[in-house]
A and B are shown apart, each in its own frame.
Chain A
């Protein structure tokens, strides 16, 4: 009986083996590992799920990331793709100015590709790229829906260099599909398609410091022009982009440090990871005791830190009417052992082995934010997304197995 059902399921997945055989192996590994961990609710599904997972892997898990820093090349994306393995690269042989990044498991697209007005069009209408009038949400919804159903899409390309809309590129459904840009959660229909959403909330002071750092070396830019540019975008940003954070499952908020009085360079950062409670397949990270409040300074007798040190806080809170848990880190990591010490005290990290967070941080020690909360929380969110992905895949595999058993 059991054997016959196995055969039935293998025949189901044969169309998938043609061009995705290597990737299937990766997926199989994921599910067996997760059932061995014993922490999933799909315990006994180990052997059976090996065969059925492959087909459902064609239906991607969709993640939304709201960020103002341009598309696809952001540090967050590189860390996320690294957690899954493999480096993300622009599609080979396509438009060299494509904003898309593709790795073995992940495809990241830039929502700027759904601009309905190109740069000249926006100038004529007097509209910024932040304005919903400059974006085609209908097309965005249609295409994200198609990808979620496992169909390939012809996605337009917005060329950031020329400011024009280039001919479309073909995107195949990957295992993990990430939409990154200014408006992933703006349209309600698109929001409902997302399995997980993240909002990167950079405070004004930090944004200013970062933009100065980015643009001051640029010929033509001055402090005034940078300031004017930020201020001109602020009204549209506050009206259209900022409200999305209430819908996000996780918000990474970057603020100036409280450890150094009058610090205005944005070098030491205070970063908060605001995690919504009750999100399916997502268990917030906690410190010491879930649901309680705690402030923790790891530096002391066992661990010596250099100035300004590290300070953690954790506690439940309310965020735009939602129940959330907030994990906060202020300060900088100076040495490896600070990182591993902190990791050993955090719980629910969804790591597969002790030291995985530290290993990921070290792997990309040259990325910005590798020594503070931005890198740490981005890495943790990456691990959480991997966990969410594995749970979803195991669930999908579990459902047909139940049907086949009968």
Chain B
């Protein structure tokens, strides 16, 4: 089959992207929080751990809401573990945790300059030139 030659051709075409080096996705980094059985990808993890240290935390009010909702859910369920209020309370915890996780992702993706330029495209820093 011609697949090997085409693979070689594709590889040379793609090399400027250097993405394969990153392809073990951020998943390995955050996994360092959980116990880790010996995985070969770990050899690459040390390089990535440096980036992990800088990962953003949840905005404070949202983090506050999450911890409050957890306390409240624990209190509600202490009295009545299967009642509707208990289920609704844990559902709220889940909803807030999801919102917190999305907020973290958004913060991670956002570039302060891009954010500023979205609102002020005419500012000096945001001027673009097309030749």
Binding site for B on A (CB under 8 A): 69-70, 73, 92, 119, 122-123, 125-130, 160-161, 163, 209, 211-221, 225, 228-233, 235-236, 263, 265, 267, 302, 306-307, 333-337, 340-341, 344, 354-355, 358, 362, 365-371
Q: Which of B4, B63, B86, B93 contacts A219 (CB 8 A)?
A: B63
A257 nearest CB across to chain B (Å): 12
CB distance A123 to B88 under 8 Å? yes
Closest 6 CB pairs of A and B: A126-B84, A220-B67, A232-B90, A128-B91, A70-B98, A365-B19
In the complex, chain A residues whose CB is within 8 Å of the CB of B35: 265
In the complex, chain B residues whose CB is within 8 Å of the CB of A236: 87, 91
CB distance B37 to A265 under 8 Å? yes
B74 is an interface residue with CB less than 8 A from chain A: yes
Q: Mark B30-55, 1 if CB is under 8 A from A, else 0.
A: 11011111011000000000000000
Instruction: Name the residue of chain A whose CB is nearest to the CB of B118.
Output: A92
Q: Which of A212, A221, A336, A341 contacts B20 (CB 8 A)?
A: A336
B113 is an interface residue with CB less than 8 A from chain A: no
CB distance A219 to B67 under 8 Å? yes
CB distance A225 to B3 under 8 Å? no
A195 nearest CB across to chain B (Å): 28
Instruction: Name the residue of chain A whose CB is nearest to the CB of B55.
Output: A217
The answer to whether A128 and B40 touch (CB under 8 A), given A355-B10, A365-B19, is no
In the complex, chain A residues whose CB is within 8 Å of the CB of B11: 336-337
Q: Which of B26, B62, B63, B94 contacts A229 (CB 8 A)?
A: B94
Instruction: Name the residue of chain A whose CB is nearest to the CB of B44.
Output: A334
Q: Which of B10, B36, B83, B100 contacts A218 (CB 8 A)?
A: B100
* 5 further contact pairs, Cβ within 8 A, besides A219-B63, A225-B70: A265-B35, A344-B6, A354-B6, A365-B19, A371-B23
The answer to whether A119 and B92 touch (CB under 8 A), given A73-B106, A333-B23, A336-B11, is yes
Q: Which of A213, A225, A306 contacts B74 (CB 8 A)?
A: A225
CB distance B90 to A229 under 8 Å? yes
Measured between alpha carbons, how far is A104 from B77 in the docked complex, in Å? Answer: 46
Interface centre among A69, A215, A236, A335 (most CB of B within 10 A): A215
Measured between alpha carbons, how far is A306 from B89 in the docked complex, in Å? Answer: 44
In the complex, chain A residues whose CB is within 8 Å of the CB of B94: 229-230, 233
CB distance B88 to A371 under 8 Å? no
CB distance B99 to A218 under 8 Å? no
A362 nearest CB across to chain B (Å): 5
- The prevalent SS among residues of B at the interface is helix
Q: Which of B6, B26, B92, B97 contacts A214 (CB 8 A)?
A: B97
A-B contact pairs, 10 of them (CB 8 A): A123-B89, A130-B91, A216-B33, A220-B67, A221-B67, A225-B70, A344-B3, A362-B23, A365-B23, A366-B26
Measured between alpha carbons, how far is A69 from B117 in the docked complex, in Å? Answer: 31
In the complex, chain B residues whose CB is within 8 Å of the CB of A209: 34
- The prevalent SS among residues of A at the interface is loop
Number of B interface residues, CB 8 Å? 62
In the complex, chain B residues whose CB is within 8 Å of the CB of A265: 31, 34-37
In the complex, chain A residues whose CB is within 8 Å of the CB of B99: 70, 160-161
The answer to whether A129 and B27 touch (CB under 8 A), given A213-B34, A336-B20, A355-B10, is no
B25 is an interface residue with CB less than 8 A from chain A: yes
In the complex, chain A residues whose CB is within 8 Å of the CB of B67: 218-221
In the complex, chain A residues whose CB is within 8 Å of the CB of B97: 211, 214-215, 218, 221, 229
CB distance A228 to B66 under 8 Å? no
Measured between alpha carbons, how far is A229 from B95 in the docked complex, in Å? Answer: 10
Measured between alpha carbons, how far is A129 from B92 in the docked complex, in Å? Answer: 8
Measured between alpha carbons, how far is A162 from B90 in the docked complex, in Å? Answer: 16
In the complex, chain B residues whose CB is within 8 Å of the CB of A69: 98
In the complex, chain B residues whose CB is within 8 Å of the CB of A369: 25, 27
A219 nearest CB across to chain B (Å): 6
Q: Which of A128, A160, A211, A334 contacts B88 (CB 8 A)?
A: A128
In the complex, chain B residues whose CB is within 8 Å of the CB of A129: 91, 95
Measured between alpha carbons, how far is A89 from B70 in the docked complex, in Å? Answer: 31
CB distance A126 to B102 under 8 Å? no
In the complex, chain A residues whose CB is within 8 Å of the CB of B93: 225, 229
CB distance A233 to B102 under 8 Å? no
B22 is an interface residue with CB less than 8 A from chain A: yes
